[in-house]
Amino acid sequence: MGLRLGDEAPNFTATTTEGEIDFHAWKGDSWAVLFSHPKDFTPVCTTELGYTAKLKDDFDRRNVKVIGLSVDSIDNHEAWADDIEETQGNRPNFPIIGDTDRTVSDLYDMIHPNANDTLTVRSVFVIGPDNKVKLTITYPASTGRNFDEILRVIDSLQLTAAYSVATPVNWKKGDDVIIAASLDDEAAKAKFPDGWKTLKPYLRVVPDPTA
């Protein structure tokens, strides 16, 4: 069975474009995005890796380390980086695992044999400072992911962790948020002394506490 939300993100050692890593030691107490792509020198993957490199400051600001993976070799990753830089304007600035023996792909259930029995699908794992899985996304090879959406979810997860709030449909940073159901009104008063808007007893809205 694949990893589920709340599971410990398994540790591994791997060869990457930035050397050998022990995943948990590399990650430390940061957040992490571990994502797989199906194959080097392919068009959709080229755009994804270029865009992810462009977001480096956005990930750094959120204390998120990014690491990619495919079953291709490190030599291929390095040669392909030239093409990514040339066509996308950004060179990968995060480690990419060369998972030629599929150790990490199997550990994280990134190969879905009924889709393709040798290549990884487009998996994304967001992992918290506690090494627990906070988000999983799986896209098919033919659809490039929306890495702005991944940042949006990280904003939501970090807000929840810090302020006991949840985020409503289509929320983006700065929009109003919802007081978590786990806080009764008494506890909410301590956290939100300026009050909130009660639309229903279960739907209490406050401004984004970080805005």
Residues lying near ligand BEZ in the complex (CB under 6 A) are found at: 38-39, 42-45, 141-142
**Which of the following is catalytic: 45, 119, 151, 188?**
45
We find the least distance from the C-beta atom of residue 110 to ligand BEZ, in angstroms, to be 13
Residue 70: name the closest of 120, 141, 142 by CA. 120
With residues binned 3-state (H G I as helix, E B as strand, rest as coil), the percentages for the chain, rounded to 5, are: 30, 25, 45
Give SS3 for 83.
helix
Cα 169-173-178 angle, rounded to 5 deg: 50
Q: Which is nearer to ligand BEZ, 135 or 141 (CB)?
A: 141
We find the least distance from the C-beta atom of residue 40 to ligand BEZ, in angstroms, to be 9
Residue 105: name the closest of 14, 30, 6 by CA. 14
Q: Which is nearer to ligand BEZ, 42 or 136 (CB)?
A: 42
We find the least distance from the C-beta atom of residue 179 to ligand BEZ, in angstroms, to be 42
Cα atoms found within 13 Å of the Cα of residue 6, Cβ hemisphere only:
0
Is 136 a known active-site residue? no
Residue 125: name the closest of 82, 148, 154, 98 by CA. 154
Q: Which is nearer to ligand BEZ, 45 or 127 (CB)?
A: 45
Q: Which is nearer to ligand BEZ, 119 or 206 (CB)?
A: 119
- Quickly count: other Cβ atoms within 10 Å of residue 121's Cβ: 18
**In the structure encoding, which two tokens stand for residue 85, read together?**
């830089």
We find the least distance from the C-beta atom of residue 124 to ligand BEZ, in angstroms, to be 15
Element (H, E) at 24: helix 23-27
Q: Which residues are catalytic?
A: 45
